[in-house]
Amino acid sequence: EAAGAIPGIKVDLGAKSLANFPGEMITEGLDGLLERLNDYRRLGARFAKWRAVIGVGSDRGIPTDYAIETNAQALARYAALCQNADLVPIVEPEVLMDGDHDLERCGEVTERVLKTVFMRLYEARIFLEGMLLKPNMFVAGQKHPKRASPEEVARSTVRALKNCVPAAIPGVAFLSGGQSDIEATANLNAINRLGGPWALTFSYGRALQTAALKTWSGMPSNVLDAQAAFTHRAHMNALATQGQWTEMEERAAP
């Protein structure tokens, strides 16, 4: 806390197979969640996170409306329980990059997901000013032969957010979702150059940690270099949240 860090905790119990819907997932963990949240609040947590996983199939049958609806309901119930426990919910509906779908197909599915999620949040009486959204960017599947440019990603992502996400939401923290380090930074930078009514920032896992972990490789002698690699990656993403990242800044890596 002295360094300005606010503690939080992931509270879902992971994505499991959705009964009767092969290839689709539902996130579990609602049973007993309020009691757990109250305990986490007493222990110092101030926010929580719940991840819903939405896959994109090779045909247009996946995701089904049922998979989207059940995951949206779970996100809304989780968010309501968080706010009852005086915790800020991070609502994470992730449309996966797995597959061979193009950017347009990702956008179509993500818009369906976001519109359903916010309908359920509204029905659950969520205080929108007291939550954060953690969505995927609009990117093609990893097996698609064409990678969209940062400008294409930004235009599609920001347009859809303006169509689907209320301005009352204070912040949108994008997940990296399998993008490379630099791809995730470049796309975030392009998104912030377009901007919107929300703070547009990052909540990266792999795209923030990969360089540091590779540099470290479990060797005590590499710790300082790994710390420098992590600091550089974090700084690049901080610049991207202001639309000020450049390839020249990137090349100034330690």
For residue range 81-119, what is the model confidence (pLDDT) as tens digits?
999 999 999 999 999 988 888 899 999 999 999 999 999
What pLDDT is recorded for position 247? 87
Which of these is catalytic: 24, 49, 94, 134? 134
Domains of the chain are: 8-206 (3.20.20.70)
Q: What is the dihedral of CA 207, 74, 26, 137, to 10 degrees?
A: -30
User: Please, what is the average pLDDT of the chain?
Assistant: 94
Which of these is catalytic: 92, 94, 111, 183? 92
Return the closest-CA partner of residue 26 out of 49, 52, 60. Answer: 52
- pTM listed for this prediction: 0.92
Please indicate whether residue 134 is annotated as part of the active site: yes
The tens digit of pLDDT for each residue in 220-251 reads 999 998 999 999 999 999 999 999 999 888 88
Report, as an integer, the average pLDDT of 133-137.
97
54: left (phi over 0), alpha (psi -120 to 50) or beta: beta
The tens digit of pLDDT for each residue in 19-34 reads 999 999 999 999 999 9
